[in-house]
């Protein structure tokens, strides 16, 4: 075998190795895209609107298949079709990720409180659904920080919705917060009323000009499990700080 033949053989072998690597990378990206689009999407909590259920620094998986698929299920919100396919409406009490109705781009995460046709109202910080007050059981004060960054203990309750779903809420401003008394909201057909568990620090469906009623089409998925959690002021990339900054007790916690 001549030297030229040997070089050509080596070149073809190297070329074949590069093409194989490109094919493997393409397959991996395709699988990741399919999983993210149809099964699970990672999501991190950017604000404290769902404290104490979800904390800033929580990373969670959202099931895309729970409510079926709409154009918002796909990257960049590609308008491949209108409405939903394989749709299944959320249950009251679900924590859901959705696209903000006013721009169709911003991701929000809140709890489903009102279903189509429901009448929702806050009276003295108590939640009323179709004229029925949701049961509110006092819990020990919740340790958090106030608007000035100082430690504070705030009112803390277990709230039970009409379908029996119970979840914790906090009220930094007690029973006299800005949204403690509201008009009656009647949820339109095909829409849902979303609220945060941190009742005095959540921009949600109570603010009609900013969030309002959320169309079924805008729902992206249901929050299922926390797969990672780190202190709010810590950096996830600083692995050497993990022993003291990772919230180990929250990892693999089911969301409810």
> Could you tell me the maximum CA-CA distance found in the chain, to the nearest angstrom?
91
Contact 144, 154 (CB under 8 A): yes
Out of 64, 99, 110, 172, the active site residue is 110
- Please confirm, yes or no, whether 238 is among the known catalytic residues: no
Q: How many residues does the chain have?
A: 256
Active-site residue flag, 49: yes
C-alpha to C-alpha distance for 234 and 59, rounded to whole angstroms? 13
Q: Are residues 60 and 226 in contact, defined by beta-carbon separation less than 8 angstroms?
A: yes
Give the H/E segment covering residue 87: none
Integer Cα distance of 198 and 220 in angstroms: 22
Q: What's the rounded Cα separation, in Å, for the pair 203 and 196?
A: 8
Residue tagged 């979800």 (tokens): 54
* Active-site pick, 49, 73, 205, 229: 49
DSSP β-bridge partners for residue 160 = 135, 166
CA angle, corner 225, sides to 66 and 38, nearest 5?
35
Active centre residues (catalytic): 49, 110
């Amino acid at each position: 075998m001549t030297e030229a033949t040997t070089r050509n053989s080596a070149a073809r072998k190297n070329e074949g190795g590069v093409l194989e690597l490109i094919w493997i990378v393409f397959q991996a990206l395709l699988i990741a895209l399919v999983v993210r689009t149809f099964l699970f999407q990672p999501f991190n909590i950017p604000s404290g609107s769902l404290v104490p259920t979800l904390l800033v620094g929580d990373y969670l998986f959202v099931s895309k298949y729970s409510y079926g698929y709409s154009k918002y299920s796909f990257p960049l919100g590609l308008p491949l079709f209108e409405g939903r396919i394989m749709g299944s409406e959320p249950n009251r009490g679900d924590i859901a990720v959705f696209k903000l109705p006013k721009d169709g781009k911003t991701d929000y995460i809140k709890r489903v409180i009102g279903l189509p046709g429901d009448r929702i109202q806050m009276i003295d910080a108590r939640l009323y659904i179709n004229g029925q007050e949701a049961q509110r059981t006092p819990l020990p004060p919740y340790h958090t920080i106030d608007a000035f960054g100082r430690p504070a203990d705030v009112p803390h309750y277990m709230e039970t919705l009409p379908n029996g779903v119970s979840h914790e809420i906090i009220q930094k401003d007690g029973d006299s917060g800005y949204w403690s008394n509201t008009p009656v909201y009647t949820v339109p057909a095909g829409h849902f009323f979303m609220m945060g568990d941190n009742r005095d620090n959540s921009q949600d469906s109570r603010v009609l000009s900013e969030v309002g009623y959320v169309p079924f089409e805008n729902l992206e998925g249901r929050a299922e499990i926390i797969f990672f959690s780190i202190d709010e002021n810590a950096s996830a990339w600083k692995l050497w700080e993990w022993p003291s900054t990772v919230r180990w007790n929250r990892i693999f916690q089911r969301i409810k």
